[in-house]
Amino acid sequence: METPDWLPPGVVVNVPQRGEVFVRHYRHPDPTAPVVLLLHGWTASADTQFLFAYQRLAEHYSIIGIDHHGHGRGFRSPAPFDLSAVADDAAFVVRSLGVAGVVSVGYSMGGAINMWLVHRHPDLVQGLVFEATALDWRSSRLERARWWFVPLLSPVTRAWWFARYVGRGLRLVVHHNHSIGVWMPWLTAEILRNDPRAVVSAGRALSRHDAAGWVDEVKVPAASVITAHDRLVPPRKQRALAYALNGTIFEIPAGHLGALSHPSEFADATVAAVSDVLVRAAR
């Protein structure tokens, strides 16, 4: 099974009373280079979410990419998935690696973790980048109705045919990107690493998330990468988050899985958004 040769080195950080957190950690040759923290979305991992952004980011920055509780190589635990606790995990990892401050990039659920990170650990956050995400996930009847089906994920992901379904789904998402074909088996295997119980618990946690109560407290520069054809997180809600944070907006012509379906556009927009918040932070 072939794997991309540009994956950052993997390390494990032991978070007391939580577990061993798997981290992609790349140190830029320039020790003064800013550090980017990557927080992946629901059912993803650092690798499956940011695979095509790693190379571009590594040209300019150091990288810390975390696999959250129950996702990818993230630790397994019977404890419920909790967004604030996952943000605390990320903060502990950053401090353990000797990093004083980061630009935190959160995709989808990672955007919710972003909000908890800056809320609970403002000293660590120099800037925020939000991608395909929103302030809340339950403001409409349709959104609330969707979460009723989350418990079905657990038996579905244990079904014998699920791996085949994941492979076919990935091929549909990346059908026009022929260069990714050689890594399809690896990508499928990475997605199948997820712990079904933790993923269901994470969905429940996300369904309750609403950061509107403390968005005004955020004082660091922010930017948003809008997935303009997103049917899961409506672009209007993504823009509402950007407006609430007075953030710069970057758009890519993609749906919610734009990190895989439009890898070049996604990588370019991510780098541009990180650069934007760093410039404004320096001012």
CA dist 85 and 9 (Å) reads: 25
- Domain residues for the domain of 47 are 10-282
Range 216-243 average pLDDT = 96
* Statement: residue 73 has pLDDT above 80: yes
pLDDT digits (tens, 9 = 90+) for 112-152: 999 999 999 999 999 999 999 999 987 777 666 665 665 65
Give the integer Cα–Cα distance in Å for 48 and 53. 10
Confidence of residue 176 (pLDDT cuts 50, 70, 90): low
Whether this prediction's pTM lies above 0.95 is answered by no
Domain contains 44: yes
For residue 56, being part of any structural domain is answered with yes
Q: Is the pLDDT of residue 185 over 60?
A: yes
For residue 108, tell me if it sits in a domain: yes
Whether residue 208 has pLDDT greater than 80: yes
pLDDT, one tens digit per residue, over 2-17 is: 788 889 999 999 999 9
Q: How far is CA 102 from CA 88, 95, 121, 126, 209, in A?
A: 14, 10, 11, 6, 23
Asked whether residue 1 is domain-assigned, the answer is: no
Mean pLDDT of the chain: 90
What backbone phi and psi angles, to 5 degrees, belong to 37?
Answer: -100, 125
pLDDT at 178: 62
Overall domain count for the chain: 1
* Residue 96 domain flag: yes
| pLDDT score at 157 | 53
Give the torsion sign (CA, 195, 27, 252, 130).
Answer: positive
pLDDT of residue 149: 61
Reported as a single tens digit per residue, the pLDDT across 105-118 is 999 999 999 999 99
**In-domain check, residue 249:** yes
Instruction: Burial-class residue 97 by CB neighbours within 10 Å (0-12, 13-18, 19+).
Output: middle
The enclosing domain of 72 has a CATH number of 3.40.50.1820
pLDDT band at 283 (very low <50, low <70, confident <90, very high): confident
pLDDT at 180: 73
